Amino acid sequence: MSAEQWGERIIVITELQGDGKPGNPRRPRFVPAPPTAEQARAAALEGQRLREEMRDAKVDRVALEVAKKHIYAASWVLGDDGKTVILELVAAHRDAFAEIFKEKSVRVFDKRELFHGEAGKAAAREELRRVKKDFEWEELQAGAK
């Protein structure tokens, strides 16, 4: 199975955020900062709670609700201006991208649509090369490494 078949994928042209200090690293918009120790503990407890719920015959409903809310992989390439990024995001369900699709200040490409025809892929590559002149698709490998 190719990486393109693992879940829903989008490519976003967006900007960097964060000040580079601990707890707020430079990263693309829509990519959260790494969790603090307290947040990691809370997430572990929530994961344990969900696993217990899943054992109680609520598997399908719980799993779907969790999947709809989470982006589980990201890969990004810094643009030539040092401020703009080409970001690939992967989720099990398109609902995880809902807020991004509403955002008017970013350009979003649905990766699945791009790979259905060479014309769409070539047009997207041309637009992405305005951000990074030597951009190649292989640079975006979220969830494939």
What is the predicted pLDDT for the residue at 58?
A: 54
Least confident of 43-47, 53-57, 117-121: 53-57
Residues 87 and 28: beta-carbon distance below 8 Å = yes
Percent of the chain's residues with pLDDT above 70? 79
Name 142's Cβ contacts closer than 8 Å, sequence gap at least 6.
Answer: 3, 9, 73, 74, 75, 88, 89, 90
Cα distances from 41 to residues 20, 37, 47, 54, in angstroms, run 24, 6, 10, 20
Q: What is the pTM of this model?
A: 0.74
What is the predicted pLDDT for the residue at 145?
A: 44
In the chain, what are the helix, strand and coil shares in percent, each to the nearest 5?
45, 25, 35
What is the predicted pLDDT for the residue at 79?
A: 96
What is the predicted pLDDT for the residue at 56?
A: 59
Within 10 A of 6 (CB to CB), how many other CB atoms are there?
15
Of 78 and 141, the structure prediction assigns the larger pLDDT to 78
Confidence tier at 128 by pLDDT (50, 70, 90): very high
